[in-house]
Amino acid sequence: MFSSASLLLLTSFVTSAYSATFNVSTTGGNASSPLLYGLMFEDINNSGDGGIHGQLLKNNGFQGDSPGLTAYASVGGTSLSQDTTVNLTTAIQSSLKVSVPSGTTASVGFSNSGYGGVPVNAGTYANYFYIKGNYSGTVTLRLVGSTSGTVFASHDVTVTSSSAKWTYVETSFTASQSSDRSNVWQLLFDGSKVAGSALWFDLVQSFPATYHGRFNGIRNDVGEFLEAIGGSSWEGGSPGARWNWNETIGPLENRPGRQGDWSYPNTDALGLMEYLQWCDDMSLTPVLAIWSGLSLGGGIISGTALTPYVEDALNELEFLLGSTSTTTLPSGIWTDIHHYESPSGFVSSFNEFDNYPRIPGYGIFVGEYANTETDSGTQLLWSNTAAKQVQGAISEAVYMIGLERNSDLVKLASYAPILEHFGLAEWPPDLVGLSSAPNPLTGSISYYVQKLFSTARGDTIRAVSADVDFGPLYWVASSTTRGKWYVKIANYGMASQNATVKIPSASGLSGTAAVQVLSGSAGTSNGPAAVSVQPVNSTLTGSATAGWTFDIPAYGVAVFTASPA
């Protein structure tokens, strides 16, 4: 215990600069898991529909509990309704009925405002829709500024449709750049041909360029942003409402979608195969989660009552692995640990796994972790001034250093959640935010820390002898089989620290090393479309025996890299 007098003394003491020396051992050490910096994805805060999935139009299949006419508006005096008597398929049970008043002569139709606006960027858009009703003529698809009326794209397609069955139309067009997110997608037709009658539409879709050009793919811009680094939505509010893998595959019109866990519908257009395609395209290792019997809203299923769900998991494995010989679930025991913490919570968890028993076949998966509040309990939100702050991001770095030091035991870890649509989020603060505006993506400070750590992964964790104890500096060293050496050091303190890294027994290293440093004052944050904190690169001159010296400012993190000459 400190008396208040000695606490004061300590406070003034730590504001002066320190220096520390780290000797990295070149022998021994433990294998490090290559899966320590993962991405945990779940459809929350419109991270799937309206987020990473490329499809931009909202409520296109009238899915979820109360779709109504969400996102739709009449154009040119039509009247719109959700028609539950005219369905596309067994899965998609409603359509959009567009009634045209008698005497109409103009081009009329409907618009869709997407997820907080339709992003309109110069480029090609692929469009798909179903139409039913007697119509033979031109259908015009447009992207239009909602208040400005500016037309960014206008494209005619000739359609012949009857009331006997659904007609599928696919077409693409090129748009010019909009300066904001207030845009709608419009579908117009010749009102004179439908006056006094109606047409029906369903599963309207519009995609900008997708990542790796995939059909029904993920957004290119979001994909590229997340490429730099690696959920519970499927639990369901009740057992019946859980995510069913077999209803997220196959043609989109056969996917019923579901009311997601986070108060909005999931279209499941981003389904099992799309997740795997995403992993493939980013060279990610997928970790398949199966339902354990626990629902978010309670309703736990256990014991023999779980048998059909185990069967379902085996069917899923067979479907994915192409083997019909899967008769038992893979062995191995894993514990999934979640941490949503304050900065001090993370720092005090630095040594969480240091003394954990090591049992063969047993591993830890830190399935979700993030700093979500300040030490005084203020919740962090992108929308207020307290977005993710430097202090919290450094505390996450301290925790991640603890994970890496124990990565012989902690095999997998994933920050969560990773993506939110600004303004459509109920679980802040996510790693990355996006909007429908041009240049839509903003990385939180935590995003840059994840990026720093995940791109400096060694395969062997090396022992370090230092002339200081842990706190406020925390460190971990690793090396790769290709002769690179990494030292990650977090400074969770209010004073700048000088660090000298030596690798006395290493030979053949270049005298020129690199260090990437991220730091800022404790409460600084990156706001939507306003990035103030990100890593800064420097080159260092030194040697393995004399060391390399660099400064780690207060609330900072440094990733040091030495490479073969």
Ligand X SMILES: *[C@@H]1O[C@H](CO)[C@@H](O)[C@H](O)[C@H]1NC(C)=O
Q: How far is the CB of 18 from ligand X (least distance, A)?
A: 8
State yes or no: residue 546 binds ligand X (CB under 6 A).
no
State yes or no: residue 247 binds ligand X (CB under 6 A).
yes
**Cβ neighbours of residue 104 closer than 8 Å, sequence gap 6 or more:** 76, 77, 191, 192, 194, 195
Q: How far is the CB of 440 from ligand X (least distance, A)?
A: 17
Instruction: Identify whether the C-beta of residue 70 lies closer than 8 Å to the C-beta of residue 424.
Output: no
Report the distance separating Cα 503 and Cα 481, nearest Å: 16
- How is residue 146 written in tokens? 């909602």
Q: How far is the CB of 426 from ligand X (least distance, A)?
A: 3
Q: How far is the CB of 536 from ligand X (least distance, A)?
A: 8
State yes or no: residue 197 binds ligand X (CB under 6 A).
yes
In the set 306, 381, 514, 531, which binds ligand X (CB under 6 A)?
514
State yes or no: residue 408 binds ligand X (CB under 6 A).
yes
Report the distance separating Cα 531 and Cα 508, nearest Å: 39
In the set 516, 519, 525, 526, which binds ligand X (CB under 6 A)?
516
Amino acid 298 reads: G
State yes or no: residue 550 binds ligand X (CB under 6 A).
yes
Report the distance separating Cα 198 and Cα 70, nearest Å: 20
In the set 26, 70, 82, 87, which binds ligand X (CB under 6 A)?
87
What Å distances lie between residue 326 and 276, 314, 322, CA to CA? Answer: 20, 6, 9
Q: How far is the CB of 239 from ligand X (least distance, A)?
A: 11
Phi, psi of 417 (to 5 degrees): -75, 170
CA-atom Rg of the chain in angstroms: 27
Instruction: Identify whether the C-beta of residue 153 lies closer than 8 Å to the C-beta of residue 176.
Output: yes
State yes or no: residue 90 binds ligand X (CB under 6 A).
yes
Instruction: Identify whether the C-beta of residue 277 lies closer than 8 Å to the C-beta of residue 255.
Output: no
For strand 485-491 and strand 473-479, is the pairing parallel, antiparallel, or unpaired? antiparallel
State yes or no: residue 549 binds ligand X (CB under 6 A).
yes
Restricting to residues 479-498, which ones interact with ligand X according to CB under 6 A? 496, 498
Amino acid 13 reads: F
Report the distance separating Cα 144 and Cα 111, nearest Å: 9
In the set 102, 331, 537, 539, which binds ligand X (CB under 6 A)?
537
- How is residue 367 written in tokens? 């399935």
Instruction: Identify whether the C-beta of residue 460 lies closer than 8 Å to the C-beta of residue 28.
Output: no
Of the candidates 514, 524, 44, the residue with the CA atom closest to the CA atom of residue 270: 44
State yes or no: residue 358 binds ligand X (CB under 6 A).
yes
Q: How far is the CB of 502 from ligand X (least distance, A)?
A: 6
Stretch that binds ligand X, among 207-215, 274-282, 465-473, 517-525 (CB under 6 A): 465-473
Report the distance separating Cα 34 and Cα 279, nearest Å: 15
Of the candidates 149, 251, 245, 247, the residue with the CA atom closest to the CA atom of residue 205: 251
In the set 74, 82, 134, 480, which binds ligand X (CB under 6 A)?
134
Restricting to residues 12-41, which ones interact with ligand X according to CB under 6 A? 17, 21, 23, 29-30
User: In the block, which residue shows the tokens 């009311």?
Assistant: 259
Report the distance separating Cα 513 and Cα 511, nearest Å: 6
Nearer to ligand X, 247 or 375 (CB): 247
In the set 136, 426, 538, 546, which binds ligand X (CB under 6 A)?
426
Stretch that binds ligand X, among 181-189, 334-342, 368-376, 422-430 (CB under 6 A): 422-430
- The DSSP letter of residue 306 is G
In the set 77, 332, 471, 504, which binds ligand X (CB under 6 A)?
504
Nearer to ligand X, 21 or 348 (CB): 21
Could you give the 3-state DSSP secondary structure of residue 412? Answer: strand
State yes or no: residue 463 binds ligand X (CB under 6 A).
yes
State yes or no: residue 346 binds ligand X (CB under 6 A).
no
In the set 121, 127, 210, 244, which binds ligand X (CB under 6 A)?
244
Q: How far is the CB of 461 from ligand X (least distance, A)?
A: 4
Nearer to ligand X, 180 or 312 (CB): 312
Report the distance separating Cα 528 and Cα 118, nearest Å: 18
State yes or no: residue 551 binds ligand X (CB under 6 A).
yes
Give residues in contact with ligand X (CB under 6 A).
17, 21, 23, 29-30, 87, 89-90, 134, 163, 197, 244, 246-247, 262-264, 312, 358, 405, 408, 424-426, 461-463, 465-467, 496, 498, 502, 504, 514, 516, 537, 549-551
